[in-house]
Amino acid sequence: MNLLLALTRAIDKLTEIIGKAVGWLILVAVLVSATNAVIRKIFNDSSNSWLELQWYLFGAAFLLASAYTLRQNEHIRIDIVYGLFSRRVQHWIDLFGHLFFLMPFVLLMIWYFVPYVAMSMRNGEVSTNAGGLILWPAKALLLAGFSLLALQGVSEIIKKIAVMRGIIPDPTPFISVHEAAELEGRALVEEISK
């Protein structure tokens, strides 16, 4: 299990580095968008490549940050229902979800994207829009995003099993909104009573 936990640390570190770095792509997308708008208004000139570059940048940020979102335990779940259960049941729900929903989906997407990206690269596929960009980098981002998500999914499964077996502490303890309010209320009462 120590080897698997070392693997999770490596995956988590990779995810953390990529997740924090791609946040800058949003800034670049905003700057490209602003520059494009200024050029269009002042010089009455524009290009589809600028618009497509904005889409590429936003898509890259979204796709490459999805693994980081999973790593930070910020993915979407129904907290109202999830918060009703004990932490042990929540671990089982997470493990079940990762094994039977997340991993089959991302592995299927990777299976389909490998030939999709390879064919696009081989053919030198270009956007059908006048002045558009080449398409394979955008398609490769799809493959990269799902590959990173699959790696992080493996990391989360290993960590979830280790937590359930008591080998490591829970790295992402879930606190429902109700529980957070109760903790905040207790802290206020303690502060007032001092």
Residue-wise pLDDT for 6-54, tens only, equals 999 999 999 999 999 998 999 999 999 999 899 988 998 878 888 889 9
Residue 128 confidence class, pLDDT cut points 50, 70, 90: confident
pLDDT of residue 184: 83
Q: What are phi and psi of 68, to 5 degrees?
A: -65, -40
In angstroms, rounded to a whole number, what is the distance separating the alpha carbons of residues 89 and 95? 10
Residue 194 confidence class, pLDDT cut points 50, 70, 90: confident
pLDDT at 175 over 70: no
